[in-house]
């Protein structure tokens, strides 16, 4: 095919070729990575000692194969199906139609046999395991240099560690040459550490790789590697696979971690605690320092000459007010109640004035009434009605005839009328 094609065209060509060629196949192998989806589909890997292939048993076919519920990782099975290509990813897998168990897997049997043997020889004993240092300063990580496990470990290390140094020791972690490569890497780390001065030796060794099938992790089930881990004078952490994966190195190592990330977190945990404690102490120290500076700043301000002068002036003014309150001359009225006496005198004076005014008004009224009465009874009022009266020149009234007879002859008399008077003479 010399013509240029797109990715889709290439994948579809492969899909048509493979699916057309492998429509009905029977394959025997060992089950690993068995998982069930929420939709009822079953996914697993079928392996032998050299190769593996992904398989899928969809829900409809799974219901027709009830025995699949009893199958577990490590079982040896015979499947019947066809090859299918998933175009979106460009991957292929066996679409299983039937599945039957044909015995326990060879790899798992070997694993269990070796595990039992090494356990009987004391390699798994808890009391012989080294204690992992809480604050390791130098760590050797044995893993694939380009693997995701190393990146996961380093990401956590860079984020959480402060003074810990990591030495990466490259090694194969999968395949036939992997056990020898891991063994050589471990021996080299031990030799390197023994030749270093105190303070530069390796504190912890980490054996790690990512998850995979049983055959993918088989390099860590090597008996020679297990004995080297057992005899290693340096504490070893095994972080192989995922949470559900176990290898011989996990049982022999001084500490087993579920993932490379978990290994990095455990080795840096004490550093994180110390950093948190230091940060808390730093915040506390900063707070205490601020409070100390603030208190002493207030004290310094209070001891400033101007502040002392203000306090002295305040005391002076306070004493001055107290002294003024002690001045008897200024408080004479307050102490003798003179102001109350003055108020009483003013009140009595006002009352006396009111009484005098009332009496004067009363007397004036009486005088006015008496004047009216006298005027009404006066002789001149009678004269207006046609009467007259006689007086001497001296003004003596002649009120009777007897008085008239006593007057000498030729005496001038005055006759008083209402509108004037006139003279007469007595004969």
The ranges assigned to domains in the chain are 7-104, 111-272, 315-367, 380-425
pLDDT at 213: 73
pLDDT tops 70 at residue 59: yes
Mean pLDDT of 248-265: 92
pLDDT at 106: 66
pLDDT at 327: 67
Strand order in the sheet with 420-425: 397-398, 389-392, 412-417, 420-425
pTM of the model: 0.50
Contact 156, 268 (CB under 8 A): yes
Q: Place 379 in a pLDDT band, splitting at 50, 70 and 90.
A: low
Q: Tokens for 382?
A: 């009678």
CATH class, range 111-272: alpha beta
Q: Measured over all CA atoms, what is the biggest interatomic distance in the chain, rounded to whole angstroms?
A: 200
Buried-exposed string 174-195: b where 16+ CB fall within 10 A, e elsewhere: beeebbebbbebbeebbeebee
pLDDT tops 90 at residue 189: yes
pLDDT tops 90 at residue 7: no
Which of 23-37, 170-184, 281-295, 319-333 has the lowest average pLDDT? 319-333
Which of 185-194, 298-307, 377-386 has the lowest average pLDDT? 377-386
| Residue 395 φ/ψ, nearest 5 degrees | 95, 10
pLDDT at 285: 93
The dotted CATH code for 7-104 is 2.40.50.140
Query: pLDDT, tens digit, for every residue of 129-154?
Result: 999 999 999 999 999 998 889 999 99
pLDDT at 253: 94
One DSSP character per residue, 109-163 reads: HHHHHHHHHHHHTTTT-GGGSPPPPSS-SEEEEEE-TTSHHHHHHHHHHHHH-SS
pLDDT at 370: 86
Q: Which residue has the higher pLDDT, 373 or 170?
A: 170
pLDDT at 184: 94
Kindly give the residue spans of alpha helices, DSSP state H, lying in 326-391: 332-336, 338-377, 379-383
Q: Collect all residues with Cβ–Cβ distance below 8 Å to 89 and sequence separation of at least 6.
A: none
pLDDT at 330: 64
Query: pLDDT, tens digit, for every residue of 200-251?
Result: 899 999 999 988 777 788 899 999 999 999 999 999 999 997 777 789 999 9
| Residue 34 φ/ψ, nearest 5 degrees | -70, 130
pLDDT at 332: 61
Q: Which residue has the higher pLDDT, 330 or 412?
A: 412
Mean pLDDT of 27-39: 90
């Amino acid at each position: 095919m010399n013509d240029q094609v797109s990715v889709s065209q290439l994948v579809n060509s492969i899909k048509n070729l493979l699916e057309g060629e492998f429509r009905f196949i029977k394959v025997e192998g060992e089950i690993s990575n068995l998982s069930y989806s929420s939709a009822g589909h079953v996914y697993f890997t079928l392996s032998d000692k050299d190769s593996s292939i992904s398989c899928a048993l969809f829900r409809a076919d799974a219901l027709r194969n009830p025995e699949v519920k009893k199958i577990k990782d490590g079982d040896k099975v015979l499947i019947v199906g066809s090859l299918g290509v998933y175009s979106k990813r460009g991957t292929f897998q066996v679409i299983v139609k039937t599945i039957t168990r044909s015995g326990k897997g060879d790899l798992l049997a070997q694993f269990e046999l070796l595990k039992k043997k090494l356990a009987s020889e004391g390699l798994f004993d808890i009391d012989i395991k080294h204690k992992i240092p809480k604050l390791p300063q130098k760590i050797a990580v044995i893993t694939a240099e380009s693997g995701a496990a190393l990146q996961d470990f380093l990401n956590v290390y860079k984020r959480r560690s402060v003074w810990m140094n990591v030495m990466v020791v490259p090694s194969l972690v999968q395949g036939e040459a992997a056990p020898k490569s891991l063994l050589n890497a471990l021996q080299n780390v031990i030799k390197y550490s023994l030749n270093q001065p105190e303070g530069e030796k390796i504190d912890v060794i980490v054996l790690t790789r990512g998850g995979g099938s049983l055959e993918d992790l088989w390099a860590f089930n090597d008996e020679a590697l297990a004995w080297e881990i057992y005899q290693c004078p340096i504490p070893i952490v095994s972080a192989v696979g995922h949470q559900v994966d176990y290898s011989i190195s996990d049982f022999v190592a001084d500490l087993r971690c579920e993932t490379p990330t978990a290994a990095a977190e455990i080795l840096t945990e004490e550093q994180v605690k110390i950093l948190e404690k230091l940060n808390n102490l730093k915040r506390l120290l900063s707070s205490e320092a601020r409070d100390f500076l603030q208190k002493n700043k207030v004290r310094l301000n209070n001891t400033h000459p101007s502040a002392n002068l203000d306090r002295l002036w305040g005391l002076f003014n306070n004493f001055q007010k107290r002294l003024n309150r002690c001045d008897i001359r200024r408080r004479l009225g307050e102490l003798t109640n003179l102001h109350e006496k003055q108020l009483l005198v003013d009140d009595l004076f006002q009352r006396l004035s009111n009484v005098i005014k009332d009496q004067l008004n009363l007397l004036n009224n009486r005088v006015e009434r008496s004047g009216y009465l006298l005027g009404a009874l006066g002789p001149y009022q009678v004269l207006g009605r046609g009467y007259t009266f006689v007086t001497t020149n001296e003004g003596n009234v002649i009120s009777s005839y007897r008085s008239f007879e006593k007057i000498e002859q030729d005496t001038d008399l005055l006759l008083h009328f209402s509108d004037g008077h006139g003279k007469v003479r007595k004969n």
